[in-house]
A and B are shown apart, each in its own frame.
Chain A
């Protein structure tokens, strides 16, 4: 646009819009509209700066954001930033309309949710928590504080980076995430995720059987457990985990029912003497 009165969003407005998203993406969550109101609030400063003193235009343009929206809020900030730039383009009369913006948002929220959930919730957070748990092993608050500081810095500045990257590049910004290179990065990250999850399991979970004798102090010295450990250390832990995975992924049992099934397994095991935590007052 070579227009003399080209509209340009100020950094202050973009910053405000980002902060509204960061703090408000889900504050008025409902099953029906999910992040819609967070998105609406986040776009208000943008719309107001582009259409000052024009209540009608503000109202008409905010309509695009009343459509249902839900994605991973961390990576989703790239979509919010992108729409800010599209909104700017629309105000400058480049032929972009609300429908285009909506199609872009609708097309991206699914992939971004899937990528974000596996990258953030499935990889980054387990790594951070795994490290933090190790630091807090003896009841020390250091690990918890480590997690609070590191995660929030990553979350705030990471989301901010994505927002402004989305604004700068417009609809090209997301090509990376859904394109070939993005796919390669995701495959690579999946390896990290898989190995770290295995490490977390081995470090923190220890399912043992007591299918042998215990002495009067309640200390268990058992043959079956020793033999299992001779085959593969932590074998029982892996088996229980894969059993839960099989129930949920292959049999489509919900997490709650999986837990209830575990209660059943534990109860039968306790009655038969396979499991015994060996407790006394």
Chain B
């Protein structure tokens, strides 16, 4: 499998749309087009092998099930994962003749996409850095009272940042990278230590993604219990995620009732205690917010 200039250019365009300072809106760009599962579909269509693309997307998505960017710090970059990593993984898997649905193909995809994604965070910072130039234009425009120019600063000029740091790198790396990945087939045999390590790491990488999520959820030792219950429901009882979610809702309702029944003097974990006289009137309405 090779990647033509035309295919590489389309991948480059999608890389622009989804990158973290995203051209298609945060929800649509970063959270939709940038997710590896969706990237797998796009790459599958572009490279003409949808099942393989989806398989790579599914595998890679696990690592990034929780891609949170607190305060604009990124450990990995979605444009590189989804539109450089996945295409290269597809080339590697098909050139090595692995079964696309097999665990080994999945581990290969995870390792490759994660490696590229981690390196790709350079692109994220490069775009953010170049955007400073357009923002400087913006401050001058405000100074002069040319407020309409702000639309250009926010929606127009950043395309240049992406042309340089999203479109070009993606196009070059997918086009030439595909040739390199194919050439590597002979250099690194499958039963050698480097490839074995690569596949083993691939199987472990999703644990990092889950651990990132846990870091947000877990504040004290007791918080591990819902996590372990959920794990046990799926691992031992083989329930699927919808079933686990439904069961968890039961516990959530109980927790909500207990919290609301407690007096307002519970200091808890030092959360904000503003609006102490906030009367719980419309319960069902709050659920919509989420």
Binding site for B on A (CB under 8 A): 22-34, 36-38, 40-41, 44, 47-48, 55-56, 58-59, 62-63, 66, 70, 73-74, 111, 113, 117-119, 121-122, 124-127, 129-134, 136-141, 143-145, 147-148, 151-152, 155-156, 158-159, 161-162, 175-208, 232-234, 237-238, 240-245, 247-249, 254-256, 258-259, 262-263, 265-267, 269-271, 275-277, 279-281
Q: Which residues of the partner chain B approach A144 to less than 8 Å between Cβ atoms? A: 37-38, 40-41, 54, 57
Closest to A244 in B: B211
Q: A197-B227, A198-B229 are in contact. Are A237 and B155 (CB under 8 A)?
A: no
Q: Which of A29, A243, A255 contacts B131 (CB 8 A)?
A: A29
Interface contact B62-A41, CB-CB below 8 Å: no
Interface size range on B against A = 35 or more
23 contacts across the A-B interface (CB closer than 8 A)? A22-B27, A30-B132, A31-B72, A41-B150, A121-B68, A133-B58, A139-B100, A144-B37, A147-B37, A180-B260, A183-B271, A187-B259, A194-B225, A194-B226, A195-B227, A197-B210, A198-B229, A202-B231, A233-B236, A255-B75, A277-B104, A277-B196, A279-B199
Q: Which of A73, A121, A136, A175 contacts B66 (CB 8 A)?
A: A121
Q: A176-B286, A180-B273 are in contact. Are A198 and B232 (CB under 8 A)?
A: yes
Q: Which residues of the partner chain B approach A195 to less than 8 Å between Cβ atoms? A: 226-227, 229-230, 233, 244-245, 247-248, 251
Q: Which residues of the partner chain B approach A249 to less than 8 Å between Cβ atoms? A: 211, 214-215, 218
**Interface of B, helix, strand, loop or mixed by DSSP:** helix
**Interface of A, helix, strand, loop or mixed by DSSP:** helix
Q: Which of B21, B31, B196, B256 contacts A29 (CB 8 A)?
A: B21
Total cross-chain contacts (CB, 8 A):
420
Interface contact A187-B256, CB-CB below 8 Å: yes
- Counting chain A CB atoms within 10 Å of each CB, the highest count among B100, B207, B224, B259 belongs to B207
Assembled-state Cα–Cα distance A256/B193 (Å)? 22
Q: Which residues of the partner chain A approach B96 to less than 8 Å between Cβ atoms? A: 281
Assembled-state Cα–Cα distance A175/B232 (Å)? 37
Closest to B118 in A: A256
Assembled-state Cα–Cα distance A79/B227 (Å)? 32
Q: Which 5 A-B pairs have the closest CB atoms?
A: A198-B230, A139-B51, A29-B21, A194-B226, A195-B230
